[in-house]
C-alpha cells in the first residue's frame, strides 16, 4: 500500500467531520471518497484509517458537550452510592451506558464481516436507500406522537430507551446505514423530541467510536503505518475542526426541522452509486 498523501488525508478528514453526525452515513461517504481517491476500500489500512480519524470527531463531541458530559458522569457516580441522588441525569447516564453495550458486542463478534464482505459500494448504495425508509417511518411516528402530546424531553429518557436505541445502533455497522441516522430515528420513533434524540446520539457515539478507533489502531497499526502516521494526524485534526462545526449546525437544524431533508439526499446518492456500479464507472471494492 502506498503512502497516503496529505491532500487525501485532508479530504478524508473533511468528509469524516461533515458526515459523522449527520444521518447520511460517514462510513458510506468515507468508503466512496476513498474509492474516488484511488484507494482500495477493502485494504485493512484504509479501513483502519477511516476508523481512527473518528477520534477527531469524538474529541469535538467532548469539547462541545464537556460540561454536560461531566454533569452526567458526576450524577452517575453519586447515584451509585446515594439513592436519593438518582435523578434524571443519573437515569440518562445509565441510558447511555446501556445503549453503548450492544454495538460493542456485535461489532466485536462481526468484525471480519464488517471490514470484509460489507465493505462494498453495492452494500453502501443499498443501505443508503433502504434505511431512508426507516427514517421516513420514524418521522411519521414522531409526528403522530407529538400530535397526541406524547413527545418526551430529556428528563423522560429511560434506560429502556437507551437499550432500544443501542440495539438499533447495531444496524449502523452496515456501511451506508448511518450511526446517527439509526440512533436519532430510534429516539424520535420512541417519542423523544429531535433535539434530545440528537444529543443522545452524540453521547452514544463517544464510547462506540472511541472503542472502534482504538481497536483498529492497535489491531491494524502495521497497515496504518504504511499509510503514514503524520497523514493520520492531519486527518484527525481536520475531522475535529469540521465535526465541531457540524455538531453546532445539526443541533440548530433539528430544533426547527425534521430529518426528511436528508432522505432525498440519501436516495439520490444511493441511486447514483448503483448507476455508476452498473455502468462500470466504479468497482465495488
Q: Rg (Cα) of the chain, in Å, rounded? A: 19
Per-residue pLDDT of the chain (285 residues; tens, 9 = 90+): 557 889 999 999 999 999 999 999 988 899 889 888 888 777 777 777 887 888 899 999 999 999 999 999 999 999 998 888 888 999 999 999 999 999 889 988 887 787 777 878 899 999 999 999 999 999 999 999 888 877 888 889 999 999 999 999 999 999 899 999 999 999 999 999 999 999 999 999 888 777 776 776 666 666 666 677 888 899 999 999 999 999 999 999 999 999 999 999 999 999 999 999 999 888 877
Longest Cα–Cα distance of the chain, Å, equals 64
- Give residue for cell 437544524: 253
- Specify the pTM: 0.89
**Closest to 183 in 3D by CA, of 170, 171, 169:** 169
- C-alpha–C-alpha distance, residues 172 and 178, integer Å: 5
Length of the chain, in residues: 285
- C-alpha–C-alpha distance, residues 85 and 75, integer Å: 7
Cell numbers describing residue 79: 447515584
- C-alpha–C-alpha distance, residues 3 and 59, integer Å: 26
Amino acid at each position: 500500500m502506498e503512502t497516503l498523501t496529505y491532500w487525501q488525508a485532508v479530504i478524508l478528514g473533511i468528509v469524516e467531520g461533515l458526515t459523522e453526525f449527520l444521518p447520511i452515513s460517514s462510513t458510506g461517504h468515507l468508503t466512496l471518497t476513498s474509492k474516488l481517491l484511488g484507494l482500495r476500500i477493502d485494504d485493512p489500512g484504509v479501513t483502519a484509517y477511516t476508523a481512527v480519524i473518528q477520534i477527531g470527531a469524538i474529541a469535538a463531541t467532548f469539547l462541545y458537550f464537556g460540561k454536560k458530559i461531566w454533569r452526567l458522569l458526576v450524577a452517575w457516580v453519586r447515584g451509585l452510592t446515594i439513592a436519593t441522588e438518582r435523578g434524571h441525569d443519573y437515569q440518562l447516564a445509565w441510558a447511555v451506558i446501556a445503549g453503548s453495550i450492544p454495538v460493542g458486542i456485535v461489532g466485536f463478534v462481526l468484525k471480519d464481516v464488517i471490514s470484509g464482505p460489507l465493505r462494498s459500494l453495492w452494500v453502501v448504495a443499498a443501505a443508503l436507500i433502504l434505511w431512508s425508509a426507516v427514517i421516513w417511518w420514524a418521522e411519521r411516528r414522531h409526528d403522530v406522537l407529538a400530535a397526541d402530546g406524547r413527545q418526551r424531553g430529556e428528563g423522560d429518557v429511560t434506560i429502556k430507551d437507551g437499550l432500544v436505541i443501542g440495539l438499533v445502533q447495531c444496524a449502523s455497522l452496515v456501511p451506508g446505514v448511518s450511526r446517527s441516522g439509526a440512533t436519532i430515528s430510534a429516539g424520535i420513533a420512541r417519542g423523544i423530541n429531535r433535539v434530545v434524540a440528537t444529543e443522545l446520539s452524540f453521547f452514544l457515539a463517544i464510547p462506540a467510536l472511541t472503542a472502534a478507533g482504538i481497536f483498529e489502531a492497535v489491531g491494524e497499526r502495521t497497515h496504518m503505518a504504511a499509510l503514514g502516521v503524520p497523514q493520520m494526524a492531519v486527518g484527525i485534526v481536520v475531522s475535529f475542526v469540521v465535526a465541531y462545526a457540524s455538531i453546532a449546525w445539526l443541533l440548530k437544524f433539528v430544533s426547527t426541522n425534521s430529518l426528511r431533508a436528508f432522505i432525498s439526499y440519501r436516495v439520490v446518492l444511493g441511486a447514483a452509486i448503483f448507476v455508476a456500479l452498473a455502468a462500470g464507472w466504479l468497482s465495488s471494492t
